[in-house]
Chain A
Amino acid sequence: MKKLLLFTALGLSMAVTYAGGYRVSLQGQKALAMGHTGVAVINSSETVFFNPASMVYLDDKLNISAGVSGVFSNIAYQDTETGVSAQSDNPMATPLYLYASYKATDWLSLGLGVYTPYGSEVKYEDDWAGSHLVNNIKLQAIYIQPTVSIKINDMFSVGGGPIYATGSVNFNRNLNRTITDLEGNRSNVTVDATGISSWGWVASTLFTPYEDLHVGFTYRSKIDMNAEGGSATFENVPNSPLAPFKDTSFDAGLPMPAEMTLGASYTFQDKLTVAFDFNRAFWSAYESLDIDFEDPNIPDSKNARNYKNSSSYRFGLQYDASKMFTLRAGYYFDGTPVREGYFAPETPRNDSNNFTAGLTVNVSKSLQIDASFLYSHFKEVDASYDYYYENGIAVPFGGTYKTNAFVPGLGLTYKL
């Protein structure tokens, strides 16, 4: 078994990324180490995210899990026709989570989750070949989720709660492929909005037909993040009435798509747990990224996305190797929501193969250290974004992309 885990952990050479679109699937070190499975795994307060209905089955009165990941994602781009190549210079992103569950009674648990399921941080060199589409983007959403879990009977529980989402966006791109000021500096716009908030909800159920088998289902609603009155700042705009770009405010909306997860886990001889999750993300909600500038002289920015719903298939293993160590490994395939011809460099995501591994160290009876590692591998892909227009004429931006991500993560679990 150990050999198998080791093999999985080291066999990274063929691996892929961390989620389609701007979904960041890093909602718990234990689950992530198992291929981000968890809808039917009961092992910590990470269930606040993965399946609130499981919360009520946690043994301890109080469970707290917290963690952070360091996302090192890289994008390489090249165009063999022109010889242009580019490497993203993405800063390390550090998505966080904090979950707490409290067993109020034998049949009722209360919990709270704070996590960051959506986000993106991509930074190219300014004025790179695709700078008319994006120079850099930072997207962040924090979900805060009070949660309740109710045991109906030993076989069946339900859970859920409202979600308060708060987010921010900062996005910079050049106005088009050529416009500059007098000194040749490219004209660009930065849109920035913070404190965007909205509400959603989560509901789930867990079914335990017999002791070692769990089947779970979780649905998390779509949350539309509507930025209103954000600031749009124009730089290096030529001094001309023909280029009427003055700083203004803007409105824009970005959906945090709904997702549902259906999965099962089975534990062999109290030692080895296998888990499988099927996850469906309803990305078709992301039709277009439209930036509506308040200044009527500035044409609104319409950027078709036309995403499709996508699926991911997740497999995880957990092995209680000793009193001290629990080992985990996993794999998931993440289908891209991006259709052909809509491959934009701000989220250059094709299908990915993801390899995970991790372990928990039982420091004491009440304290665990959780570590995980994810390697996301995207196949090299020739792709283009065909819906950028200049003077009404579509100007495709294409080339070859190759991306990957390395995500080490650390967490603490406290039980009382």
Chain B
Amino acid sequence: MKNILKYSFALLAVGLVGCEPEFDSPVTDEGFYNSGSANLSNYVAVGNSLTAGYESGALYRTGQENSYPNIMAKQFAHAGGGEFTQPLMNDNLGGLLLNGTPIAPNRFVLAVDANGNPGPVRLEGTPSTDIANKLSGSFNNMGVPGAKSYHLVAQGYGNVAGVPVGAANPYYARFASSESATVIGDAVGQNPTFFSLWIGNNDILSYATSGGSGVDQTGNFDPRTYGPNDITDPNVFAQVYSEQVNLLAREGVKGVLANIPEITSIPYFTTVPTQAIPLDAATAAQLNAQFALYNTQVLPGLAAASVISQEEAAMRMINFSAGQNFPIMTDDDLTNLTQILMGQPFNLPAPIAGLLGQLRQVNADDLIVLTASSVLGTTPDPSNPQGVIGVSIPLSDEFVLAASEQARISAASTAYNATIKALANAKGLAFVDSKSALSRLASGGIAYDGGVLTSQFVTGGGFSLDGVHPSPRGYAYIANLMIQAINSTYSATIPSVHIGNYPTITLTNN
């Protein structure tokens, strides 16, 4: 009797474990969500660092897990989406090695210094991702950090031998199907049933982050002659971009395209104020006295002699006052006056002439890049406390994006965006206006369940510690925008994500 009861109790117990409550309409049921006219079974994402999940100055595993394509693929899985593979890095440090030699630094983390001030620092540690170790197989995430539009169609872009000479991309070298493969070829070779394409950002971004140190190649149709910081010609962009879209969207394959955000949306260009130099009245007066002759005699004289325009003369005036001041800078776009100032009637000594040669003060139309924050106001020569960058030593041109440079970027990106939108319309593809979406982060932000997402550096939540790439939460915001666009274009009902569930920046002291 006792045994019978014991066994029946045990049997009952086993049976009851399976009696889980069933919802009337479970989200896990096939058909609860649907993909509309899109087929999400094999999604391939093509793009650059944004697509790869690059953030805080490096590509690393947790960043990749929060890449917008990976977030989307997880949501796609509710509506017929299949497996989504990524060329995961080896670690969460993010640095790259080539045959054991470091070629890319680790990620930034937010550390607190000895004075209790938090700030981004590179994470210490030896990275373990050696790009000479080729990954096998194909990957749904074809995001290649650093890629420009024309790189996606460039043969040999994944040839590891080309990496040291800048002819190939270290990230793509890890997983290119062959040494002569193209990114777009490897993407199309996976026979995607659905794709996303977000490319073109780097065609202007490296020019912008380098303070306009490259060349605007508008009019030059041969990208093989471009330098790394150049602006891509809009016709070159249009040609390679439409080639890519035609390849990806062949036979009616559906997809989503995203346009290029404005650089003024990203904290890299908005964090350091143009009036970055605090001065007291005495110091300002002392500095103004030094520039008095230059402002009142030299510049008007040069303008009168038509060596420079009146406009340039006005731009070159140096004036300080008590309070916050514009730093002085070297501007390569100005007429170089060094030789003239060394000659008659000025007869200035070479160091002073050199200093004044292309000198001006930063103005309100300029943008100072984030990396200037570590040099502005510093004294590079400890034996000369008077040598302060921005006050007595001009800030280098690479730290300042002048209005003229911004105009070139704006012109190019406007042209790119026209191409992207026109192709989306022509092909009936979903379209994400990431330009508007990211500018909303910069102007007021986006409310979510836990606050407001903004582009404020470190604290806004939208961007990572490199000031250029979104944070995981920023990527989740983008993933939601993509999902919304797909849902509305293809009558799909893919669920979105709560962006508050995605992290922002990583706290760590080395």
Contact = CB atoms under 8 A, between A and B. Distances in A.
Q: Do the two shown chains form a genuine complex with each other?
A: yes
A182 B500 contact: no
Contacts of A241: 112, 116, 509
B251 interface: no
B508 interface: yes
Interface string B254-295: 000000000000000000000000000000000000000000
Given A177-B501, A178-B504, A404 B28 contact: no
Contacts of A78: 23, 26-28
B302 interface: no
A240 B27 contact: no
A129 B501 contact: yes
Interface residues of B, number: 48
A82 B495 contact: yes
Interface in B1-26: 1, 5, 9, 12-13, 16-17, 19-24, 26
B497 A177 contact: no
A83 interface: yes
Nearest to A238: B507
Nearest to B461: A178
A178 B502 contact: yes
Interface stretch (A220-228, A332-340, A390-398): A390-398
Contact of B495 (A70, A81, A239): A81
B111 interface: yes
Contacts of B123: 182
B23 A76 contact: yes
A395 B65 CA distance: 24
Nearest to B123: A182
Given A85-B28, A182-B92, A92 B13 contact: yes
A243 B450 contact: no
B451 A391 contact: yes
Nearest to B74: A83
Interface in A48-96: 70, 72, 74-76, 78-85, 87, 92
A72 B16 contact: yes
Contacts of B449: 395-396
Chain A interface size range: 35 or more
A76 B21 contact: yes
A11 interface: no
B450 A82 contact: no
Given A76-B22, A82-B497, A85-B26, A390 B509 contact: no
B1 A363 contact: yes
Contact of B5 (A380, A403, A410): A410
B62 interface: yes
Contacts of B109: 182
Nearest to A187: B507
Contact of A406 (B19, B61, B62): B19
B62 A75 contact: no
A402 B20 CA distance: 9
Contacts of B20: 74, 76, 87, 404
B220 to A, nearest CB: 44
Interface of B: 1, 5, 9, 12-13, 16-17, 19-24, 26-28, 32-33, 61-62, 65, 75, 78, 92, 109-112, 116, 118, 123, 449-451, 473, 495-498, 500-504, 506-509
28 contacts: A72-B19, A80-B495, A81-B495, A81-B496, A81-B498, A82-B75, A82-B497, A83-B75, A85-B26, A177-B500, A178-B473, A178-B503, A178-B504, A180-B503, A183-B62, A184-B92, A238-B508, A240-B112, A241-B116, A371-B5, A390-B500, A393-B450, A395-B500, A400-B23, A402-B22, A404-B19, A406-B19, A410-B5
